[in-house]
Amino acid sequence: MRILVTAFDPFGGEGRNPAQLVLEALPPGLGGAALAKLLLPTAFHLSAQLLEEALANRLPDALLMLGQAGGRAGIAVEVVGINLADADIPGNLGQQPRDAPLVTGGPAAYFASLPVRALVASLRDAGLPASLSYSAGTFVCNQLIYRALHFIRLQNLPTRAGFIHLPYLPEQAAQKNPPAPSMALADQVKAVKAALTAIQTG
């Protein structure tokens, strides 16, 4: 089995992104799966274009996208991506769309095709706080979910896809006023490994 795992670089003035650090910590293989890694810019359009190219070239069996959601208290397994870009802050290339469709004339939403409830169960079994999330926001993360699932549908790819949001690292949370929820990097890596194992069996 081939699984493509993606993450974003730091954004919004942060010096690090837990998703990137988790991606870097993953081994080249886990269980019976070969893992391919792809670091994406936190930027509208370009991140989706790079991922679409990787999907077309690598044809993975599964796609697990990772992103940071500062302020969340646990791991969030996203259920849906919506056809809307509405950014409160600019992405790393300065783009800040407001009330704009991601795909003109596209469906209102796409649901993750990974077994999202099984992923949450695997994380909880590993002793980590996790839940389903029914909103991935309207920033670059949601854009990537929607565009990935749209591309998979258009190209009729066999790839199952989903997205996991990770909380702040403790050192990030310590800089917030008031301090925000956080999770140690080792636990975030443990969570993603548990999710990757569940993808193989789900």
The catalytically annotated residue of 14, 53, 165, 171 is 165
The catalytically annotated residue of 14, 45, 141, 150 is 141
The catalytically annotated residue of 14, 24, 78, 150 is 78
User: Does the annotation mark 14 as catalytic?
Assistant: no
Q: Which two tokens stand for residue 146?
A: 């929607």
Q: Are 78 and 112 in contact (CB under 8 A)?
A: yes
User: Does the annotation mark 150 as catalytic?
Assistant: no
Give the pairing type, strands 75-78 and 33-40. Answer: unpaired
User: Does the annotation mark 78 as catalytic?
Assistant: yes
Give the pairing type, strands 80-82 and 109-111. Answer: antiparallel
- N-term to C-term CA, the chain: 13
List, as one string, the DSSP characters of 58-126: H--SEEEEEEE-TT-SSEEEE-EEES-B--SS--TTS----SB-SSTT--SEEE--S-HHHHHHHHHHT
Q: Tell me the catalytic residues.
A: 78, 141, 165
